[in-house]
Amino acid sequence: MGFRVVLVVDEDDDVRAEIRECLANRQISCREAATARDALRSALEDPPDLILLDLMLPDQSGLGLCRTVRECPPLAATPIIVLTSRASEMDRVLAFESGADDFLAKPFYPPELGARVSAVLRGFVARTGEPAAPERTDSAIQLDPRTGRVIADGRRVELTPRERELLSALIAQAGRVVRRSQLIDRLQAGREPRSERAIDAHIKSIRRKLGPARNYVETVRGVGYRLAERAIEPR
């Protein structure tokens, strides 16, 4: 596999240089932008494999740019990691609701940033040499536990590692309610604590990516979520 390209969007020259150095030994090439306008122009001219985004930009909020990327067809599937000093629970929730795939607070630990970037990139197939999707089966939602590939109604769906973990938990208990606390336990696994609102934001992102199959992921008010059993049964 050749070099992956990460678009680093941060107005601080020193931060961009630190990120560039951090990712250099991981076969990751960095392009840089200091404003939302320059970032969007760069991404549209040559879509990156991932966008690393600060929330505080001089011309537009990072949340606004995140939503713009998600609404732009050529970029809609591009993974986004928010890297910011604004790290309250509300900031995290708003980032996920705006379409972010992961969130890391500044100041960051370089090895962790490198690991997070590599993990998110592993969840997405490179733009070139993409393997053909498997033949459609009768079930509406499929997750291959070996490759992590997700198919919804015959369409390849790109989920982040955390989103795949959540979907896997729902598939394993299809037809049953999975409590938010159980989903939080599933995601923690040595990482920073997760909140119920963060879980809700992840589920919202999964539904958006599932497209027409989103209705199979049901909300059980005040309790958690349930994947409709018919989603994984032959139709």
What is the pLDDT at residue 195? 77
Distances (CA, A) of 189 to 80, 121, 124, 162: 22, 20, 22, 11
What is the pLDDT at residue 4? 85
Domains of the chain from N-terminus onward:
4-122 (3.40.50.2300), 141-231 (1.10.10.10)
Cβ–Cβ < 8 Å for 82, 75: no
> Between residues 186 and 140, which one has the greater pLDDT?
140
* Interstrand relation of 224-227 and 217-220 (parallel, antiparallel or unpaired): antiparallel
- Is the pTM higher than 0.85? The answer reads no
Residue 224 confidence (pLDDT) above 60 = yes
Average pLDDT of the residues in 111-137: 62
Residue 134 confidence (pLDDT) above 50 = no
Share of the chain above pLDDT 90, in %: 38
Average pLDDT of the residues in 101-130: 75
Cβ–Cβ < 8 Å for 64, 172: no
CA distance 175 to 195: 24
62-66, 67-71, 138-142: lowest mean pLDDT where? 138-142
Cβ–Cβ < 8 Å for 4, 126: yes
Question: Which tens digit of pLDDT belongs to each residue from 14-36?
Answer: 999 999 999 988 888 999 999 99
Phi, psi of 114 (to 5 degrees): -60, -40
